[in-house]
Amino acid sequence: MSKHQFQTEVNQLLNLIIHSLYSHKEIFLRELISNASDALDKLRYMTLTSEKMKKVKMDPRIDISFDDRNQTTLTISDTGIGMNDQDLVEHLGTIARSGTKNFLEKMTGDAKKDSNLIGKFGVGFYSIFMVSDKVEVISRKAGENKAYKWTSDGKSDYEIEDAEKEEHGTTVILYLKKDEKEFAGRFKIEEIVKKYSNHIPFPVTLHYTEVKSADEKGEKTEARSEQINSVTALWMRPKSELKEKDYNDFYRSITMDTEDPLMHIHTHAEGKLEYTTLLYIPKKAPYDLFFINYQPGVKLYIDRVFITDDEKELLPSYLRFIRGIIDSEDLPLNISRETLQQNRIMANIRSAATKKILSELQNLAKKKEKYTEFYDEFGKALKEGLYHDFPNRELLLDLVRFKSIQNKEYISLDEYKKKMKKGQKTVYYIAGDKEDNLRNSPLLEAYKKEDIDVLLMTDEIDQIVIPSIGTYKDIPIKSVNQSDAADDLKTEKDEKKEKAIDPLIKKIKEQLKDRVKDVKVSVRLNDSPSCVVADKNDPTIQMQQMMRAMGQKGMMDVKPILEINPDHSIIKKMKKITDDKLLSDISNLLFEQAIIAEGGEVKDRVLFAKRLNNVILKAIST
């Protein structure tokens, strides 16, 4: 027996590994199974490349057993390459020195490319001390006759002594802490393996004792062995081998959705950055799509080992409806959430995956009926990308859809542009809460008369996103809710009308005082006497309401512009009114009914009703 001190500042480093590196204790089993998978992969490589090792028996397996009566020990064994006493010192006695990393450095060419080796930092093994008071590692190196046992409590030193082992490979025995007995239970072990190691390329077999019956004479038991991982990782298989049913079955297995997905996107990337994605778009939006604390739908794997399904940075937030798998060979297995969010490799994968999703959506958009099915569920989320994802804004602008006053079905901005009237220089839209209300808005009267189409923006997010875009393919995008949108409609005839009605405008301004920012002649009205619009740099009524709902009380001070129709009979007759009280009532009513038409609220409803009654009384008295 020989006693050794751990190299490096072991107490501090072990304490960091045990208490800070991993967020969940159950990770230790993932690490041990990953190490076992590495050992099997190493042996498989050596039996193919080394003359000395070609005669070594290759019977790859990982076995797990436990003391199910006392729940004091948990044992993980493999039939991999194993270790001798020197390896035990180098790989387990020196923290942060990974045997796998050294092994990878010695591999060349396609052998390195095809390897499924996982561990790259050399610290995963020590996670076992999160749940163990003592650990024994019994190992025999392939091609050698002697076996050795490594023992440590994970504090300051370890011991190595001769041992007996019938076959090559490694056995790790954990003596569990008193409050960690749950890890010596069949169902807990199976749960962890299926969660983290279900897709590693070697079978994981759980050995346990099943009670068949029990009476006063005692229990009748039966030894059972059961493979608890699926071994295959569907996303790693070539697309040519997979059928639609394979993809759909896998989707349901990872989402628990009862329906097939709308579509899947399967990508294998090779080169400087190697990763695989298998992503799905569901048919229906998840219930928490617009919750702040939504559950992300993409699982991160590293070399087929599960890392997390709770990381919102794997894809942009506006693609949170995506479900599926991202598997990378280039990320460290024990990467933390904070490091993951800042990792350049992950950022590149995220960027490439986002572009691929948007590209596939462009292809889907060619099938109008199917794209409409998608857009009804996820269009609002997609619009968020216009605000947040500037690098992909052009792609997203081609994907968003709107209805319009000339179209009851969705159209794209490109379709709108192609149908613009000759001489039209602007993409027009109107924003509000209900489609029917927008279609009947007084603001659209002149556009309908001139046969100019106007897009209908009914999602709240439109009023935040669309103004931030500004242009589409160098064409300005303007809201008809804004004062300057009608400038293109103005003619010399309208300018003459302004001069003719200027005295009445001054009177109306005097009556409304600080209720409005300005009073102007409208060129957008045909049938209605008045409307309200926002100044070109001010928020619309709908935007103000939304901002107030979000706690932005400063929006209450923004005043609209009142526009009046000089050709309407009410306005014409107002010129002749000499009763200041009646003029005041009518001026205020013109303003207030225009506010109501735009979905706004009249602040003083009692005063509104009183003015209305006065005007009605005056009308029936004459």
Are 194 and 137 members of one domain? yes
The CATH code of the domain that includes 167 is: 3.30.565.10
pLDDT at 48: 82
pLDDT at 188: 95
Residue with tokens 């050294």: 102
- What would the mean pLDDT of 166-192 be, rounded to a whole number? 94
Distance separating alpha carbons of residues 323 and 296, to the nearest angstrom: 8
Q: Is residue 379 part of a domain?
A: no
Please, which pLDDT band fits residue 255 given cuts at 50, 70 and 90?
confident
The C-alpha torsion from 17 through 19 and 20 to 23, rounded to 10°, is 110
pLDDT at 564: 94
pLDDT at 488: 76
pLDDT at 120: 45
Please, which pLDDT band fits residue 10 given cuts at 50, 70 and 90?
low
- Is pLDDT larger for residue 360 or for residue 96? 360
Please identify, among 440, 456, 487, the residue that sits at the C-terminal boundary of a domain: 487
List pLDDT tens digits, range 444-494. Answer: 999 999 999 999 999 989 988 998 898 999 999 999 988 888 877 777 777
Are 494 and 481 members of one domain? no
- What would the mean pLDDT of 493-512 be, rounded to a whole number? 88
Count of domains observed in the chain: 4
List pLDDT tens digits, range 197-240. Answer: 999 889 999 999 887 776 666 678 788 999 999 888 999 999 99
Are 64 and 126 members of one domain? yes
Two tokens, residue 257: 């959705």
- What would the mean pLDDT of 591-597 be, rounded to a whole number? 93
- What would the mean pLDDT of 608-622 be, rounded to a whole number? 90
Out of 141-155, 170-184, 520-534, 543-557, least confident range: 543-557
- Is pLDDT larger for residue 485 or for residue 355? 355
Q: Is residue 133 part of a domain?
A: yes
Q: With 90 as the cut, is the pLDDT of residue 69 above it?
A: no
pLDDT at 586: 95
The CATH code of the domain that includes 349 is: 3.30.230.80
Range of the domain at 171: 2-227
Q: Is residue 389 part of a domain?
A: no
Taking CB atoms within 8 Å and a gap of at least 24, the contacts of 6-13 are 6/93, 6/94, 6/95, 6/156, 6/157, 6/158, 7/93, 7/94, 7/95, 8/94, 8/95, 8/96, 10/95, 10/155, 10/156, 11/155, 11/156, 13/95, 13/96
Are 354 and 405 members of one domain? no
Are 422 and 334 members of one domain? no
Are 104 and 131 members of one domain? yes
User: Chain-wide mean pLDDT for the chain?
Assistant: 87
Please identify, among 227, 259, 290, the residue that sits at the C-terminal boundary of a domain: 227
pLDDT at 115: 46
- What would the mean pLDDT of 51-55 be, rounded to a whole number? 86
Please, which pLDDT band fits residue 331 given cuts at 50, 70 and 90?
confident
Q: With 50 as the cut, is the pLDDT of residue 283 above it?
A: yes
Judge contact between 532 and 596, C-beta under 8 A. no
pLDDT at 289: 93
